[in-house]
Amino acid sequence: MKKKLARKWKKSGDDDREDYRFSLPTQDDLRPIDTQEQEELVRSFEKNLAQQSLLWRRVFAAILLCYSVFLVYSIYQQAWSPWELRYHAYFMDEVDSWMVISADWAAVLVCSVAVAGLLLDSRYHRPCLWYSCFGGILVAVFWLYHMLRLPRFRWDVVWLPFGPLSGAGICLYVDHLLNESSEEVRKLRGYMLDLKIKRLWKGVLNPVGHLWGTCDTSLDIWSVQVNRYSTELEGKGLEFESASMSWSVQCHSTWEWLQARRSILILA
């Protein structure tokens, strides 16, 4: 009997879990998170984005720095032992040695500017990336022009024109993706601040609305009293009539001021 009840209980528990898994969300599941939870969530997004941004910027900067070191080695070999490197020896009959060295130095400069634009945390980092792309285009035009003048196009040195340009372009693309992610997180924080402001104004306008209803009732009572006293004391002279009219005008002015004040608070 006990085993039978245990199997039935286990089966009912499994059915409940299956029903819960495929059930629609209830009102408690859809409740909005409070201000503290929103702040913690946005901070976690910002922290994660900052870590990922620093990581990927350093990774691509390290790749470009390694390529720059390789170019410096090529410059050293070309200066001390001209045309010893095979990818430089292809151009022995086309260009002078100093032009090859200058082109390699230009490629080093392009990579250095791209690394600076990727790692700098200032408003000048995006212009640095664009300048590196333009410099990479000039280096690519120089090498492609002389490669096309060779008797046979050498595909094994195609990295000479497209290496610096590709590195600068990839750095610009990575920076663009990271800036987009940062903009999304800033939008999320802006939505959170807007919600805080709306809740604050709601807390301010509720007491004002209560005061507005109280003033409305009080002014109605004043109007009834003025009309009653005017009826009872009618004919006793124009002096009282002018005084009551003055008092009614004051009450009406107070009423208009309260209306204007309430409109300003709602529009704000």
What does the domain layout of the chain look like in residue ranges?
Answer: 35-197, 204-267
Per DSSP, the chain holds a count of helices (H) and strands (E) of 7, 0
Q: Write down the pLDDT at residue 219.
A: 46
**What mean pLDDT do residues 162-166 have?**
94
- What average pLDDT is seen over the chain? 74
For a pLDDT cut of 70, what percent of the chain falls above it? Answer: 60
- Return the number of other C-beta atoms located less than 10 Å from residue 45's C-beta: 15
Asked whether the predicted pLDDT for residue 2 surpasses 50, the reply is no
Beta-carbon-side half-sphere exposure of residue 144 (alpha carbons within 13 Å):
10
Q: What is the pLDDT of residue 193?
A: 75
Q: Which helix (H) or strand (E) holds 175?
A: helix 159-232
CA 101, 105, 110, 112 torsion-angle sign: positive
Question: 159-232 and 35-80 are packed helices; what angle lies between their axes, rounded to 10 degrees?
Answer: 160
Residue type for 164, please?
P
Lowest-confidence segment of 25-34, 66-75, 131-140 by average pLDDT: 25-34
Where are the extended beta strands (E) located within 45-136?
none
Least reliable range by pLDDT among 20-34, 37-51, 159-173, 175-189:
20-34
**For the chain, what is the largest distance between any 2 Cα atoms, rounded to a whole number of angstroms?**
125
Q: Which amino acid is at 64?
A: L
- Residues ≥6 apart with Cβ < 8 Å to 2: none
